[in-house]
């Protein structure tokens, strides 16, 4: 029987007890195994690693580094908004995604999202909540907001190059300069530099 992403991720960590593991070896192995069993690549194995940490099955050593200790597993209280708080957040945001403005009237399901996740010091308060459509909630789960923003501007820059839109090219370069000036998301290479 084919294994789930979760089963594969956990298997990798269990087979490497007490090792501090980064993204690449885990995701590479999980992807290889998943493709062999399912014929297509998995969706977001790194998210599964974060979930296992949030559930108390993995230890977060530092940013992007996790380990499995067979002697450590603890109960974790679920970090969800109460139905009342969720409704308050939706009402405050006008029952619309704060990113795209779509909502139930557009046939779009909404989620009450934590602006700053618990594992990054976020709280379970209304002030730390925002309304997202499921599409933008999934994107946020895949990338931090600044990463998603930088990737958006990279796509905009590439389109502007194709269209020879000098104004938008200059705008995007200015945005990349701000990312650089504040040392934000330097691991995502800006597209306007020469090697």
42 or 91, greater pLDDT: 91
Assign 175 a pLDDT band (cuts: 50, 70, 90): very high
Q: What is the DSSP secondary structure assignment for residue 3, as one 8-state letter? A: P
pLDDT band at 57; cut points 50, 70, 90: confident
Q: What percent of the chain has pLDDT over 70?
A: 90
Q: Which range (24-38, 42-56, 92-106, 167-181) has the least confidence?
A: 42-56
Domain ranges within the chain, ordered by starting residue: 5-67, 83-142, 143-195
Contact (CB, 8 A) for 132 and 110: yes
For position 73, what pLDDT does the model report?
60
- The pLDDT score that the predictor gives to residue 10 is 92
Q: Kindly report the CATH number that applies to the domain delimited by 5-67.
A: 1.10.10
Answer whether 30's CB lies under 8 Å from 9's CB: yes
Q: Cβ distance 111 to 132 under 8 Å? A: yes
- The reported pTM is 0.42
Quick count: other Cβ atoms within 10 Å of Cβ 9?
29
Write out pLDDT tens, residues 69-113: 888 765 555 567 888 999 999 999 999 998 888 999 998 889 899
**Residues near 105 by beta carbon (within 8 Å), at least 6 away in sequence:** 95
Q: Is 65 helix (H, G, I), strand (E, B) or coil?
A: strand
Q: How far apart are CA 13 and CA 184, in angstroms?
A: 30
Question: What is the C-alpha to C-alpha distance for residues 46 and 25, in angstroms, rounded to an integer?
Answer: 11
pLDDT score for 80: 79
pLDDT mean across residues, the chain: 86
pLDDT reading at 173 higher than 90? yes
CB atoms within 10 A of CB 26: 20
What digits encode the pLDDT tens for the residues 9-23? Answer: 999 999 999 999 998
pLDDT for residue 41 is more than 60? yes
Whether the pLDDT of residue 195 is over 50: the answer is no
- Whole-number pLDDT of residue 133: 87
pLDDT band at 144 (very low <50, low <70, confident <90, very high): low
Q: Is the pLDDT of residue 35 over 50?
A: yes
Range 144-155 burial, b when 16+ CB lie within 10 A, else e: eeebbebeebbe
CB contact at 8 A, 49 and 66: yes
């Amino acid at each position: 029987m084919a294994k789930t992403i979760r089963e594969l991720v956990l298997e990798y960590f269990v087979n490497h007890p007490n090792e501090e593991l980064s993204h690449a070896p885990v995701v590479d192995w999980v992807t290889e195994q998943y493709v062999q069993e399912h014929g297509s690549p998995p969706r977001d194995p790194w998210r599964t690693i974060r979930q296992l940490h949030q559930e108390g099955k993995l230890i977060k050593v530092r940013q992007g580094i996790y380990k499995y200790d067979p002697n450590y597993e603890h109960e974790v209280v679920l970090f969800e908004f109460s139905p009342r708080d969720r409704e308050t957040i939706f009402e405050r945001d006008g029952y619309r995604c704060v990113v795209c403005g779509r909502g139930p009237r557009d046939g779009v399901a909404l989620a009450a999202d934590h602006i700053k996740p618990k594992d990054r010091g976020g709280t379970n308060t209304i002030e730390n909540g925002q309304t997202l459509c499921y599409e933008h909630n999934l994107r946020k789960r895949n990338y931090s907001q600044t990463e998603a923003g930088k990737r958006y501007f990279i796509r905009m820059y590439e389109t502007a190059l194709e269209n020879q839109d000098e104004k938008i090219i200059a705008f995007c370069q200015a945005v990349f300069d701000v990312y650089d000036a504040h040392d934000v998301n330097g691991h995502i290479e800006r597209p306007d530099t020469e090697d």
